[in-house]
Structure 1
Amino acid sequence: MNTHWTSRLGFILAAAGSAIGLGAIWKFPYTAGTNGGAVFFLIFLLFTVLVGLPVLLAEFYIGRKTGKNAIDALKELSPNQTAWAWIGRVGVFGCFVLLSFYSVVGGWVLAYFVHAVSGSLNASTNYEQLFGATISNPAQAIAYQAVFMLITIWVVRKGISEGIEKANRYMMPALFIMFIILAIRSLTLPNAMAGISFLLKPDFSAVTANTLLTALGQAFFALSLGVSTMATYAAYLDRKSDLFRSANSIMWMNMAVSLLAGLVIFPAVFAFNFKPDAGPGLIFMVLPAVFQKMPLGTILFAVFMILVTFATLTSAFSMLETVIAATIRGDQSKRAKHTWGIGIAILIIGIPSALSFGAMADVKLFGKTIFDLWDFVITSLIMPICALATTVFIGYVQNRSQVWAHIREGSSLPEMVVRIWYGALRYIAPIAILLVFANTLGWIKF
């Protein structure tokens, strides 16, 4: 079994798939919609470049430098300070929990594919009611979540080159093509310019502390940072790979899909009189309406939901792979058994999240449903803590000259670029992360 990427493109598409997933397609539109649209997008872009990219490269360093899973990699890089391995342990735990509720949303995507092919979507459908009925049906929620997890397990058990890389090589280009077609159609809808202005014409008077902090949190989520996935994927890279070019490609692909998702969603929001702050169900209410305005719309919607399923799965692959890599520790003979066992465990743990919109909607911990609680724990606690620890570990604990030398392997970039990256990692990223975390816990208020 090949345990390395067969090409740089394969790695970029897989890592971009991990980053894009539902972060760009599902979460970006509704977080932008509830935080001012264009001004949120602009701040998100700045944070992604100034904070997300430096942390992404730091995770790449951890993985490729050692060629090991996240926990063992950190142990090797800090042989006399093994406490740093907790960055990897917490990240692996974060992936386990994240996939347990992420797979619920993946199930929603599969459900909408079934809605499309069954003919239950038409011009008279009330899409808000349909979404509510879809996520509140206990049997359907668990069944679709289970199917989503079984697909994820089936691919990851085959390993890197034969499973994850091969799947992404076809999924990601197809997704881009379909998004471009959709964006063109959405831009020709009546009143589309109102949606374009909402996405691309910033109103700086709408900026609040929450806008800044939510944009930074989205930058973490969108690049899969703080849960060791990028360190795990980078462990399968050879020394000839250009880490800077790969990181830039992944970041800009993620931004491109986020922009395309906005160009699909927001013109349609205003054309069909939806509310841009409709929340997590936004794409499930808006996209069916867009397709109903297109020739062969039902068929095209089914095709599109397959592609969204692909994008969702690419993120799921990276989460499960991070956990599997940490448990098999390079012994590929254990992969299939561990993948099935851990995958089923994640499915079971995720059942309460699947029921959080129906049978267990009234079950709350700390004032949150199970789904919302896990979302808060991962995106507001684990991601910023692990991202901050990574910046400190690479920026202050590791030997600077060794970090610089390894980062430049396979790259022809001048040393000045490395200096800028290292400065951002040491100063800009930690300060920004600390502000997010402190505000989340209520230690400071802006």
Structure 2
Amino acid sequence: MSSRDQFASKIGFILAAAGSAIGLGAIWKFPYMAGNNGGSVFILLFILCIFFISLPVLIAEFMIGRRGQKDAITSFKEQAPGKPWYLIGYMGMIMAALILSFYSVVGGWILSYLGRALLFMLSAETTAYGDLFNAIIQNPFEAVLTQGLFILMTILIVQAGIKGGIERASKIMMPALFLFFIVLVVRSLTLDGAIEGLRFMFVPNWDYLNGKTILLALGQAFFTLSVGVSVMLTYASYLGKNENIGGAAINVAVMNIIISLLAGLVIFPAVFALGFSPDQGPGLAFVIIPAVFEQLPMGGFFLILFFILLLFATVTSSISMLEIVVSIAIGDRKASRIRTAWIGGFIIFLIGIPSALSFGVWSHITILGKSIFDAVDFLTNSIGMPIGAFFIALFAGYYYSTHISKQELSTSPPLYYLWLALIRFVSPVAIAIIFITGLLAA
């Protein structure tokens, strides 16, 4: 057994991995994607894509990481000596750092809202929320300050290590996230007219069953599990050899689906009950949700809960992104985790400043017609992650012998061969479609 630091328990690993996957994609992006694409049909397609396309790649990352017991680069070097597969690890580290650089900007926005909610400073005028959001993202001092505070929170957790930092934080934040969600769901479902939101989520409108909705659901399912940047590979490297990676991966996928559905159950019944439209796009969490909660009894309290759980979900994702950078930087050199976390976090903070300023003083700077923030988002989500996931699927599906993958997955023959067929044929084709479509949409 490797002397490498490990998760103290299987549940600690699952909560940490689920926390990485359950971020803004599940709570912020999923509701507005479902809202814009017919609700129930999008949700059904999303669940199917999770199990048949994203989950096989997640299992592959768990397999590579747990087998390697090292950082992403070293794992590939030792498992494929003399071959360039280790470049997947380098790409994962770079993409994770870039994702965290702009992800921390959104984390800063959440801190801005949470601070105002705690101080009861949010406007009483529903129509002012759009102006408030624009004011926050355009204020250079507030944008950079809150981005820095969010990075600081991430550093403080990662520097404490796997057991004392990441696992401990995940064991606190993930159950709290579920608890807060249940409270908000109960409140939302008790509103007059909430049934319309349930119909929107669970009664199919087959007019939306088309190529566009399938493709969008495929993209959401792929990105929501954090595959493609070796984050899950890195977490699995801290997992003991006796753990069932297939079962752990299924638990992570199911938890992600549950949180996504809970996010919908918080938002859509309240949106319909209070006369708003569900197709509000990315502003749903920052513009519409505050306006919705404001109209509820004890709305200020429920709004605080909402932004706390949004913060928890964002932090559990951000620590996984910093961890892959720290893990690779430490390597076998026995470098100080504390020093490495602070240096890595500070560099990522500096890289993220242009994204933080891209809606205000640097809004005139564009890259391929996109703001700096959107350009980094596009580079990571539409190019880097699909490429990484594609080669991870090829490595696990073709480079590994069936003897190795059977041994690592350790499941029944029918389930093993189902996974093998999906990782060799279905997932790579789906990833290629996402990649090509993303490029054409640029």
TM-score if structure 2 supplies the norm length?
Answer: 0.95
Distance 1:241 1:70 in 2: 19
Tell me which residue corresponds to 1:144: 146
Query: 1:230 Cα deviation (Å)?
Result: 0.2
Deviates more, 1:193-202 or 1:291-300: 291-300
Tell me which residue corresponds to 1:418: 416
Query: 1:176 Cα deviation (Å)?
Result: 0.5
What is the 5 A alignment of 1:152-167? 152-167=154-169
Q: Is the 8 A contact 1:5 1:237 kept in 2?
A: yes
Query: 1:2 Cα deviation (Å)?
Result: 7.7
Query: 1:405 Cα deviation (Å)?
Result: 0.7
Which amino acid in 2 is paired with 1:419?
Y
Tell me which residue corresponds to 1:433: 431
Distance 1:192 1:143 in 2: 38
Distance 1:16 1:233 in 2: 11
Tell me which residue corresponds to 1:395: 397
1:75-113 residue CA offsets vs partner (Å, 9 max, x unmatched):
1111132x1111111111100000000001111111111
Q: Is the 8 A contact 1:2 1:162 kept in 2?
A: no
Q: Is the 8 A contact 1:361 1:369 kept in 2?
A: yes
**1:215 matches 2:217:** yes
Distance 1:143 1:360 in 2: 16
Tell me which residue corresponds to 1:4: 6
Query: 1:192 Cα deviation (Å)?
Result: 2.0
Query: 1:225 Cα deviation (Å)?
Result: 0.5
1:276-301 residue CA offsets vs partner (Å, 9 max, x unmatched):
23222211223323433444332343
Which amino acid in 2 is paired with 1:232?
T
**1:256 matches 2:258:** yes
Query: 1:264 Cα deviation (Å)?
Result: 0.9
What is the 5 A alignment of 1:84-233? 84-121=85-122, 123-125=124-126, 126-233=128-235
Q: Is the 8 A contact 2:4 2:238 kept in 1?
A: no
Q: Is the 8 A contact 1:57 1:247 kept in 2?
A: yes
1:3-48 residue CA offsets vs partner (Å, 9 max, x unmatched):
1100001000000000001111111112222223222111111111
Tell me which residue corresponds to 1:344: 346
* Structure 1 residues 209 and 146: CA distance shift in structure 2, 3 A: same
Distance 1:289 1:197 in 2: 22
Distance 1:363 1:139 in 2: 18
* Structure 1 residues 330 and 313: CA distance shift in structure 2, 3 A: farther
What is the 5 A alignment of 1:277-316? 277-316=279-318
Distance 2:194 2:332 in 1: 52
* Structure 1 residues 296 and 330: CA distance shift in structure 2, 3 A: farther
Distance 1:342 1:277 in 2: 38
Distance 1:294 1:330 in 2: 54
Query: 1:307 Cα deviation (Å)?
Result: 2.7
Distance 1:138 1:35 in 2: 34
Query: 1:274 Cα deviation (Å)?
Result: 3.0
Tell me which residue corresponds to 2:330: 328
Q: Is the 8 A contact 2:184 2:306 kept in 1?
A: no
Tell me which residue corresponds to 2:51: 49
Secondary structure at 2:341's aligned position in 1?
A: helix
Q: Is the 8 A contact 1:391 1:430 kept in 2?
A: yes
Secondary structure at 1:252's aligned position in 2?
A: helix
Q: Is the 8 A contact 1:2 1:160 kept in 2?
A: no
Distance 1:311 1:441 in 2: 29
Q: Is the 8 A contact 2:280 2:288 kept in 1?
A: no
* Structure 1 residues 168 and 332: CA distance shift in structure 2, 3 A: farther
Distance 1:284 1:301 in 2: 11
1:399-442 residue CA offsets vs partner (Å, 9 max, x unmatched):
1111111211xxxx422211111111111111111222222233
1:121-178 residue CA offsets vs partner (Å, 9 max, x unmatched):
2543432222222222211111111100011011101110000000110111111111
1:35-77 residue CA offsets vs partner (Å, 9 max, x unmatched):
2322211111111100111000000011000101111111111
Query: 1:359 Cα deviation (Å)?
Result: 1.8
Query: 1:214 Cα deviation (Å)?
Result: 2.0
Distance 1:253 1:290 in 2: 26
Secondary structure at 1:5's aligned position in 2?
A: coil
Query: 1:345 Cα deviation (Å)?
Result: 0.9
Q: Is the 8 A contact 2:123 2:129 kept in 1?
A: no
Secondary structure at 1:120's aligned position in 2?
A: coil
Distance 2:170 2:297 in 1: 29
* Structure 1 residues 307 and 2: CA distance shift in structure 2, 3 A: farther
Distance 2:17 2:390 in 1: 21
Which amino acid in 1 is paired with 2:137?
I
Deviates more, 1:286-295 or 1:431-440: 286-295
Query: 1:203 Cα deviation (Å)?
Result: 2.0
Distance 1:325 1:240 in 2: 22
Which amino acid in 2 is paired with 1:438?
I
Tell me which residue corresponds to 1:23: 25
Deviates more, 1:288-297 or 1:95-104: 288-297
Secondary structure at 1:202's aligned position in 2?
A: coil
Secondary structure at 2:360's aligned position in 1?
A: coil
Tell me which residue corresponds to 1:36: 38
Q: How many residue pairs align between the two structures?
A: 438
Deviates more, 1:196-205 or 1:342-351: 196-205
TM-score if structure 1 supplies the norm length?
Answer: 0.94
Q: Is the 8 A contact 1:43 1:215 kept in 2?
A: yes
* Structure 1 residues 187 and 286: CA distance shift in structure 2, 3 A: farther
Unaligned runs of 5+ in 1: none
Q: Is the 8 A contact 1:61 1:407 kept in 2?
A: yes
